[in-house]
Amino acid sequence: MEEKQFAGILNGAVPGEPVKKDENTRRGNWGNQIEFVLTSVGYAVGLGNVWRFPYLCYRNGGGAFMLPYFIMLVFCGIPLFFLELSFGQFASLGCLGVWKISPMFKGVGYGMMVVSTYIGIYYNVVICIAFYYFFMSMTNLLPWTYCNNPWNTPDCSGVVGSGAQLNGSLVNVTNSLITEAYEGINRTKRTSPSEEYWKHYVLNISDDIGNFGEVRLPILGCLAVSWCVVFLCLIRGVKSSGKVVYFTATFPYVVLTILFIRGITLDGAINGIKYYLTPQWQKVLDAKVWGDAASQIFYSLGCAWGGLITMASYNKFHNNCFRDSIIISITNCATSVYAGFVIFSILGFMAHHLNVPVSEVADHGPGLAFVAYPEALTLLPISPLWSLLFFFMLILLGLGTQFCLLETLVTAIVDEIGTDWIIRNKTVITLSVAILGFLLGVPLTTQAGIYWLLLMDNYAASFSLVIISCIMCICIMYVYGHRNYFKDVEMMLGFPPPLFFKVCWRFISPVIISFILIFTVIQYKPITYNDYIYPGWSLAIGFAMALSSVICIPVYGLYKISRSPGATFRERLKHACQAHPKWGPALHEHRTGRYAPMASEDTVAGRPLKEKEELKEEQKEGDKEKERKDEISLTIQGSNGSTNTHNNPNPSA
């Protein structure tokens, strides 16, 4: 009895159990529950927590923004997170396979794949730029400290004076970082050395999105390094990535803490933190603030990307994903708040030295990560050390998300094809997707690459995610049926979803998602980059990218209806919406109650001939799977939960 209780809590990590073995020998499982939690934290906690949330917070009323932010977390973030985790875990399938719940809506899964593809392409380019800055920080003097470089313009004015005034020794340089006055503060237009380094040296940015220019070879090399790292970490699927996240998901918190401690000891840091947190309660009445809060929660948690469903599909069937969803969601939001202290303590220090308001040095997105914050770091003694730590943190935050994006695509492909060969050779699929992602990312390393990166960031994963999430809620709650899904969750967890989550899934969360969509449409403004205004044809491409994921839903729905049996459209529609006979727990031993084979046989007479054959085939596969598990249990097992499957044709990837 005690062993069963521990098994439900620890996802197979039972005290006293000598060997952990996979429950699902065909697909594999996480080594233990900690691996799943850390992977999900790494997935949810990304670059946006550092470069977007602090900016949104100070722009929308400081501490007052926390109120709508946490309300949206409770009523939308955690319920949606729990819904996706339970969805993937129950079926043990990726973002395509789970739509056996209602085959007509499989287009939602394809939409998730399209979104993950877009994000995976440009996200790794951001990581590769962080790699580049990391390598460039391995020097005695950061290259964006002064204005005496070949790429600088006459408008350049640094915060630590001119390098020509120094004798070049490291001692004098580090001393001058604090004592030098800002020379160009009275200029009409100031360009910082970090901004010119970013625009004229790193990017060598062109004047138009259509003017690609040349490929920036250093960035291309870093992109290759980034994709190699991602591939090597996923070479054995969740078996290898589950071990890597012990470092990639935890070390960013070590770096954040180091930077936080260093930041709050600086002059002016308190002013920056006050600017970040001082509540402006009148802004709580502004609908835009609530819209920003809801959008940030939604996008930050990674809902509707397909990653949550994929990661949960490798859980053991009775894992307590309810508790996991609360832990991961709260950790994600707490990280955002914590990162705000790290960012604004340094920016407050910089504003103090420049004798300007914090608002003039605050920024978000790439502007914060590669311009504002690196410039602030030049003011610190031993600035290369802090720069190395900062960019290493960005790399790890990005990789945690990128792992799940790649695994989402690979899992969807492997589950969809489902042959023994492709399961045995999952590494080949992973390598193929990584190579394709690298090739598709090459245009983003050109001189016009930053324009395309921002275009993809603003359009590829914006309102399309909201639509996908809303349709997913409607399908599960109203097409499949909320009572059916509540019973599924109870069968999996041993208890039904709490009443609060039932209400949120059926009513509150869909309403909030709809509000986010309306807010996104109302607040829409054509994208710009600094003073550059995007031409109309590029915006058309942006909308095409956004629609390419959404259009999958009606196109596949119509296709499924046309292929469904029935004399009338209504009969075809009804059949296309019905759950597939194979919907339910993946393993034979978990198919109890209404999923039991006997229960299925009772209702088989009322099903079309095609479904009868599929049902019989499913029962045969279940028997084969049971025999395969019995054979595998006789093989030598390793201490990590991996098995030495010399005779097993289907080793887990």
Q: Determine if residue 230 is labeled as part of a ligand binding site.
A: no
Mean pLDDT of 427-432: 96
Question: Please, which residues bridge with residue 191 across strands?
Answer: 156
Please, which pLDDT band fits residue 24 given cuts at 50, 70 and 90?
confident
Question: How much is the pLDDT for 189?
Answer: 58
Percentage of residues in the chain having pLDDT higher than 70: 84
Determine contact, residues 305/115, Cβ cutoff 8 Å: yes
Closest CA to 308 of 488, 481, 80: 80
Stretch (H or E) spanning 515? helix 509-522
Q: Determine if residue 320 is labeled as part of a ligand binding site.
A: no
Domain ranges of the chain: 33-148+192-563
Determine how many CB atoms are found less than 10 A away from the CB of residue 142. 23
Question: How much is the pLDDT for 614?
Answer: 52
pTM of the entire predicted model: 0.85
Closest CA to 539 of 468, 465, 460, 464: 460
Helix (H, G, I), strand (E, B) or coil at 351: helix
Mean pLDDT of 487-505: 97
Percentage of residues in the chain having pLDDT higher than 90: 73
CATH of domain 33-148+192-563: 1.20.1740.10
In whole angstroms, how far apart are CA 257 and each of 75, 348, 373, 490, 602? Answer: 30, 17, 16, 40, 60
Residues 6+ apart with CB under 8 A from 366: 51, 126, 129, 450, 454
- For residue 446, report the phi and psi dihedrals to the nearest 5 degrees: -80, 180
Please, which pLDDT band fits residue 252 given cuts at 50, 70 and 90?
very high
Determine contact, residues 441/456, Cβ cutoff 8 Å: no
Determine contact, residues 260/346, Cβ cutoff 8 Å: no
Question: How much is the pLDDT for 172?
Answer: 37
Mean pLDDT of 365-390: 94
Q: Determine if residue 622 is labeled as part of a ligand binding site.
A: no
Express each pLDDT in 593-637 by its tens digit.
Answer: 889 886 444 444 344 444 445 555 555 555 555 555 444 443 333
Write down the mean pLDDT value for the chain.
Answer: 86
Determine contact, residues 652/53, Cβ cutoff 8 Å: no
Question: How much is the pLDDT for 26?
Answer: 87
Q: Determine if residue 44 is labeled as part of a ligand binding site.
A: yes
Question: How much is the pLDDT for 530?
Answer: 86
pLDDT at 187 over 90: no
pLDDT at 176 over 70: no
Question: Among the listed ranges 8-22, 262-276, 506-520, which one has the minimum average pLDDT value?
Answer: 8-22
pLDDT at 349 over 60: yes
Estimate the crossing angle of helix 217-233 against helix 383-417, to 10 degrees: 60
Determine how many CB atoms are found less than 10 A away from the CB of residue 10. 18
Question: How much is the pLDDT for 423?
Answer: 92
**DSSP for 210-226?**
T----B-HHHHHHHHHH
Question: How much is the pLDDT for 157?
Answer: 86
Determine contact, residues 459/547, Cβ cutoff 8 Å: no
Pairing mode, strands 643-644 and 636-637: antiparallel
Q: Determine if residue 211 is labeled as part of a ligand binding site.
A: no
pLDDT at 453 over 90: yes
Rg (CA), the chain: 26
Question: How much is the pLDDT for 158?
Answer: 81
Question: How much is the pLDDT for 59?
Answer: 86
Question: How much is the pLDDT for 287?
Answer: 87
In whole angstroms, how far apart are CA 288 and each of 9, 58, 333, 475, 631? Answer: 41, 14, 20, 29, 60
Closest CA to 345 of 257, 279, 280, 259: 259
In whole angstroms, how far apart are CA 127 and each of 120, 132, 233, 287, 300? Answer: 11, 9, 15, 34, 17
Question: How much is the pLDDT for 185?
Answer: 38
List own/partner pairs for 16-19 with CB under 8 A and 24 or more apart: 19/637, 19/639, 19/641
Question: How much is the pLDDT for 653?
Answer: 31
Mean pLDDT of 68-93: 96
Question: How much is the pLDDT for 523?
Answer: 86
Alpha carbons within 13 angstroms on the beta-carbon side of residue 478 total 10
Q: Determine if residue 11 is labeled as part of a ligand binding site.
A: no
pLDDT at 11 over 60: no
Closest CA to 249 of 427, 401, 67, 470: 401
The C-alpha atoms of residue 318 and residue 647 are separated, in whole angstroms, by: 29
Task: Give me 205's structure tokens.
Answer: 């940015």
Question: How much is the pLDDT for 190?
Answer: 66
Q: Determine if residue 414 is labeled as part of a ligand binding site.
A: no
Task: Measure CA of the first residue to CA of the last residue in the chain; give whole Å.
Answer: 32
pLDDT at 468 over 70: yes
- DSSP class of residue 185 equals T
Helix (H, G, I), strand (E, B) or coil at 653: coil
Estimate the crossing angle of helix 426-441 against helix 106-136, to 10 degrees: 70
Question: Please, which residues bridge with residue 528 across strands?
Answer: 533
Question: How much is the pLDDT for 621?
Answer: 57
Question: Please, which residues bridge with residue 636 across strands?
Answer: 644
Q: 414-432 as b/e, with b when 16 or more CB fall inside 10 Å?
A: bbbeeeeebbeebbebbee
